[in-house]
Amino acid sequence: MRLSIVNPNSTRSMTDAIALAARQAAARGTEILAYQNDAGPVSIEGHVDGVLAVPGLLHALSIAERDGADAHIIACFDDTGLEAARSVLTGPVIGIGEAAARMASLVARRFGVITTLAVSVPILEDNLVRAGLASLCTGVRASELPVLALEDDPKAADARISDEIAKAISEDGAEAIVLGCAGMAAFAERLSERHGVPVVEGVSAAVKLMEGAVSLGLKTSKRGGYARPRPKERGFAEPESAPIAEAGS
């Protein structure tokens, strides 16, 4: 099967890291098509970055569908544009935020979320409410590391995140941890060993959930919440810089 994964921001190093993480998680026989939204912000931190990324993201997803992707992953922990994407696409779609939380809920009664900046906390809280996951979450903590700092000084980032995990466990009662940023993927296994609880990273969680949904033959329901948009003039020009399709698995 083919899964598309779209980085809604325009930072190439993140796209590469995301594509790598997705391919490492993919089962034999799953081809990962990775895309980058060159018409988006360099990182997504807060509401404004999010909404400005969506038009390019939807464009990239429509290319992915034309390229034969059976299901789709939005590689931003804010699940940017998830509902619009579910409305236009036929195959299942998930964001890495919802994916990580759903996976964590399989192995712990309550999970905590560690994200980058405080500005993302309300977005993640609202997403958890909408996805029916809020009652399972012990809280969203911000490490106050900007997304791109994760790449610049991974050692300091690791220490900062580890600190917040310790607090989520001891103060909030978290029994598992969801790492709330695509850039945190590389840290998961080590952090799990250090803290003795499951640590779930979103890209790999999303790959597994989409592989499962495709295997079951599921497609996004077009009744109600994700009904296909009616044809109309949308006054929306295709973004000039075409998203980049990376080579397959």
Instruction: Please identify, using beta-carbon distances, which residue of 118 and 244 lies nearer to a second copy.
Output: 118
| Position 107 contacts a second copy (CB under 8 A) | yes
Taking a C-beta distance cutoff of 8 angstroms, is the pair 39, 241 a contact?
Answer: yes
| Position 231 contacts a second copy (CB under 8 A) | no
With contacts defined by CB under 8 A, name the span among 121-129, 149-157, 159-167, 179-187 that binds a second copy. Answer: 121-129
| Position 204 contacts a second copy (CB under 8 A) | yes
Q: Cα 18–23–181 angle (5° rounding)?
A: 25
| Position 136 contacts a second copy (CB under 8 A) | yes
Q: Count Cβ neighbours within 10 Å for each residue of 14-52 and write b for 16 or more, e otherwise.
A: bbebbbebbbebbeeebbbbbbbbbbbbebbbbeebbeb
Instruction: Please identify, using beta-carbon distances, which residue of 156 and 227 lies nearer to a second copy.
Output: 227
Instruction: Please identify, using beta-carbon distances, which residue of 34 and 133 lies nearer to a second copy.
Output: 133
Taking a C-beta distance cutoff of 8 angstroms, is the pair 185, 169 a contact?
Answer: no
Taking CB under 8 A as the criterion, the residue among 25, 63, 114, 150 binding a second copy is 25
With contacts defined by CB under 8 A, name the span among 13-21, 158-166, 179-187, 197-205 that binds a second copy. Answer: 197-205
Q: How far apart are CA 141 and CA 117, in angstroms?
A: 9
Site for a second copy in 28-47 (CB under 8 A): 28-29, 38-43, 45-47
Q: How far apart are CA 149 and CA 63, in angstroms?
A: 30
With contacts defined by CB under 8 A, name the span among 14-22, 102-110, 155-163, 178-186 that binds a second copy. Answer: 102-110
Taking CB under 8 A as the criterion, the residue among 12, 13, 68, 106 binding a second copy is 106
Burial class (CB in 10 A: 0-12, 13-18, 19+), 233: exposed
Site for a second copy in 71-90 (CB under 8 A): 81, 83-84, 86-88
Taking a C-beta distance cutoff of 8 angstroms, is the pair 6, 60 a contact?
Answer: yes
Taking a C-beta distance cutoff of 8 angstroms, is the pair 37, 7 a contact?
Answer: yes
